Amino acid sequence: MALYAAAAAVLAGVESRQGSLKGLVYGSSFQNVKQLYALVCETQRYSAVLDAVIASAGLLRAEKKLRPHLAKVLVYELLLGRGFKGRGGRWKPLLDRHQARLKAELARLKVRRGVSQNEDLLEGGSKPGPASQVPRFVRVNTLKTCSEDAVDYFKRQGFSYQGRASSLEDIRALKGKCFLLDSLLPELLVFPARTDLHEHPLYQAGHLILQDKASSLPAMLLAPPPGSHVIDACAAPGNKTSHLAALLKNQGKIFAFDLDAKRLASTATLLARAGVSCCELAERDFLEVSPSDQRYRRVQYILLDPSCSGSGMLTRQLEEPGPSVPSQERLRALAAFQQRALSHALTFPALRRLVYSTCSLYQEENEDVVRAALQRSPAAFRLAPVLPSWPHRGLGTFPGAEHCLRASPETTLTGGFFVAVLERVEVPSSVSQAEASAPEVTPSPAPKRKKRRRKATAAPSSQPDM
């Protein structure tokens, strides 16, 4: 019930201009931010349809205590969402009483408009675009389990494992309870778009991390070997931090910084659930962290994913399907901060590899920031050529920009993203040659599709039986 009340409060806040949808979601007390964001976005997308159905069914006239925004959320879940699945609290019996009438009014609305699908009821600007077709990517947390065991668990739950994806077409064809192993990241599972795993026992126990493929690239490309010291400069909400810890096998040290106390607390919760023990969290501005501090003398790897416009975020694209361009003033301010952060990161004396990433689509926050940083350190760092087969490259605004990676729903079936890998031209003398050899990233064999004779087990309440 807390989910629906929180979603109703966010919708009411957006309507009364108390803040942006994203800001209100992050400002709520509901812990599962992604689940709340998804529910609010979808309810808002169908807002006009829900208003029409609720009015025709006379729901608010019959139920005086039911507030309009809560009614909208509940009716969305009943008619267009995934049902209450044991949730709904005291409102579920109330909705059950009106279920037949609500479904009849939805059917009449389709007949009047001459459509057969729910999505056909949407206005042109609200119809699903490429962002709504992006699959559900799920990263297996190798601190707690392995891909093969996760695949077996889903198979015992009735999912059909299709092996390793060989093309984007394999992913586009996913439907129902089918899933794949990603072709690039050996610990990434791929499910059909809108697959909801927030209530799945593996997710709740920290065995799975719900993380888009593009968001999984930075840690993979940084590739710190176990035992390394790493800085995660802008760590919240923690998905990339947990990925770094998995790559380190909890051996070494992650210094994770973020200025937002509330988001840092959520990060701590996520890391604890994921079994991360090698991370030191600090509520601190990365720009104030001194490269000469002896605590960071062994830091050779930095992941910098700074605040950005968020223009590539799937939730942002679903929330605002039309063009939403930030002002030039805001873009300049963001780019100035990003340039300061990147230039600062490059001054750490033992640094030899850095990944700069954003979930922005704008050149000002991406290629322009990287070019400015390289111009300040022309002899010290260079862009590393990575993933030559990746289909979407950086904009050709300067020589070498093709080594950067871009991602989008249209070209890579992921969220909008940008990644650049900077490496030191010469390894600092304080770093041994043995430490300087980073491991190659090579996909591991895909778990076999052959069924095992293993007795199916009931879904556990807390710790999954892997």
Q: Where in the sequence numbering do the catalytic residues fall?
A: 359
Buried b (16+ CB within 10 A) or exposed e, 133-152: ebbbbbbbbbbbbbbbbbbb
How many other β-carbons are positioned within 10 Å of the β-carbon of residue 346? 21
Which residue(s) pair with 420 in the sheet? Answer: 356
d(Cα 424, Cα 461) in Å, to the nearest integer? 48
Residue of 34, 40, 32, 33 lying closest to 10 (CA atoms): 40
For residue 137 the two structure tokens come to: 């990517």
Measured in whole angstroms, the distance separating CA 106 from the mean position of its chain's CA atoms is: 33
- Residue 177 in contact with residue 158, Cβ under 8 Å? yes
Measured in whole angstroms, the distance separating CA 319 from the mean position of its chain's CA atoms is: 15
d(Cα 241, Cα 231) in Å, to the nearest integer? 9
Contacts of 419 (CB under 8 A, 6+ apart): 214, 217, 218, 221, 355, 356, 357, 386, 404, 405, 407
Burial class (CB in 10 A: 0-12, 13-18, 19+), 391: exposed
d(Cα 163, Cα 450) in Å, to the nearest integer? 10
Measured in whole angstroms, the distance separating CA 404 from the mean position of its chain's CA atoms is: 20
Whether a cis peptide bond, with omega within 30° of 0, leads into 237 is yes
d(Cα 270, Cα 226) in Å, to the nearest integer? 21
d(Cα 93, Cα 73) in Å, to the nearest integer? 15
Measured in whole angstroms, the distance separating CA 446 from the mean position of its chain's CA atoms is: 23
Report the interhelical angle of 239-248 vs 261-273 (nearest 10°).
40
430 dihedral zone (left: phi>0; alpha: psi -120 to 50; beta): alpha
Which residue(s) pair with 281 in the sheet? Answer: 256
Q: Where are the alpha helices (DSSP H) in 58-146?
A: 59-62, 68-75, 91-113
For residue 190 the two structure tokens come to: 């791929």
Amino acid 71 reads A
